[in-house]
Amino acid sequence: MLDEEAASLTQEEDPDMKTSPVQPGDLPRSVLAVPPLARHDDLSLNAEANKALIRYLEAGGISTLMYGGNANFYHIGLKQYAEALEMLEEVAAEGTWVIPSAGPEFGRLQDQVSILRDRAFPTAMVLPLTFPMTPDGVATGLRHFAEAYGKKIIVYVKNEGYLTADLLGKLVDDGLVCAIKYAVVRNDPKEDALLAEMVERIDRSIIISGIGERPAIDHFRHFGLSAFTSGSVCLAPRGSMALLQALKREDYDGAEEIRQRYIPIEDLRDGISPIRILHDAITLAGIANMGPMLPMLSNLSEEERAKVAPVAKQLAEGDASRVSAA
């Protein structure tokens, strides 16, 4: 098995971080938070600010951290990639599961796999490539990466035409994939032929609703998914965890009431930029100073900050009030 083969290839495991092989039951234990990365003005990693955000999430009940698009891993260089992985291993609390990402280009996957093999993370997520690619080519690239890594990977499906349900199923059948993050945006999340095909072909317990709070209810209720990712959880972790618990109880009315609290920030993210809004919203809410964004992205303009600040603060303050009310 891949995970057993990898055991002899990693450094001594950090006792504070989850390092055991990924099981389906790991996915719904927490909302899978997708945080940004904090940086200093010179673009070096700000370990203290990243630690502050992680501790904020952990205090709100979050135990799974997925570093991908919101952390701008698309543009991170190899040297800083290794530094980021080391930092995340060091700051994660006992039992916290950190999921780094890799790719999306095949060449980057080849370069990053040697770095990942020297770390104790139990899996890594492959970022989605949009061009140039073919579904068969993507499946081949994922297979090469998983076999070189020696551990099961998480596949990120973000666009129609990236991978078919059958290609994904074959990767799962061959023991190369532990989870799938599904993030294809639909006007009506209940109407999704690709997701319907996936849950017929693949064990739905390993498919993660990957677009935050907005489609989570429909994905749980109509497709039987049991886990979801969130960026806005970085502002309000307790509410997002309460949403997850309501979904587990099949309390869809209660879940909808909670979900509505996240719609204002999600509307801003969809209307301006999901990654940029989240990055600066965390700073504006006073949670942690996330600093500058790594190029090729930029921080919000003053006009955009003025729109985001009151929404971010209201969501974070409302989440804090859940503590005093408890």
What mean pLDDT comes out for the span 15-33?
Answer: 90
Among residues 125, 321, 305, the alpha carbon closest in space to that of 210 is found at 125
Q: How many CA atoms lie within 13 A of 215 on its CB side?
A: 22
Instruction: Give me the pLDDT at residue 13, please.
Output: 38
Whether residue 70 contacts residue 275, with contact meaning beta carbons closer than 8 Å, is answered with yes
- pLDDT tens digit string along 130-160? 999 999 999 999 999 999 999 999 999 999 9
pLDDT band at 8 (very low <50, low <70, confident <90, very high): very low
Instruction: Give me the pLDDT at residue 19, please.
Output: 87
Q: What share of residues in the chain are helix, strand, coil (percent, to 5)?
A: 50, 10, 40
Does 28 sit behind a cis peptide bond, omega within 30 degrees of 0 on the bond before it? no
pLDDT at 215 over 90: yes
What mean pLDDT comes out for the span 232-258?
Answer: 98
Q: Where are the domains of the chain?
A: 2-260
Neighbours of 8 (CB within 10 A): 7
Whether residue 35 contacts residue 71, with contact meaning beta carbons closer than 8 Å, is answered with yes
Least confident of 3-7, 57-61, 87-91, 246-250: 3-7
pLDDT at 3 over 90: no
Instruction: Give me the pLDDT at residue 9, please.
Output: 31
In the chain, which ranges are E strands? Answer: 32-33, 64-66, 97-99, 101-102, 125-126, 153-157, 177-182, 207-209, 229-230
pTM summary value: 0.93
Instruction: Give me the pLDDT at residue 1, please.
Output: 43
- Apex 74 CA angle, 73 and 77, nearest 5: 70
What mean pLDDT comes out for the span 266-275?
Answer: 97
As given in the structure block, the two tokens for residue 36 are 């940004």
> CA 174 → CA 87, 136, 141, 204, distances in Å?
32, 16, 14, 17
The residue among 27 and 93 whose pLDDT is bigger is: 27
Distance CA 129, CA 226 (A): 26
Instruction: Give me the pLDDT at residue 15, please.
Output: 46
- pLDDT tens digit string along 308-322? 999 999 999 999 887
As a whole number, the mean pLDDT across the chain is 94
- pLDDT tens digit string along 66-85? 999 999 999 999 999 999 99
pLDDT at 324 over 70: no
What mean pLDDT comes out for the span 31-45?
Answer: 98
**Looking at domain 2-260, which CATH architecture does it have?**
Alpha-Beta Barrel (3.20)
pLDDT at 232 over 70: yes
Instruction: Give me the pLDDT at residue 326, please.
Output: 52
What mean pLDDT comes out for the span 120-138?
Answer: 96
What mean pLDDT comes out for the span 120-125?
Answer: 97
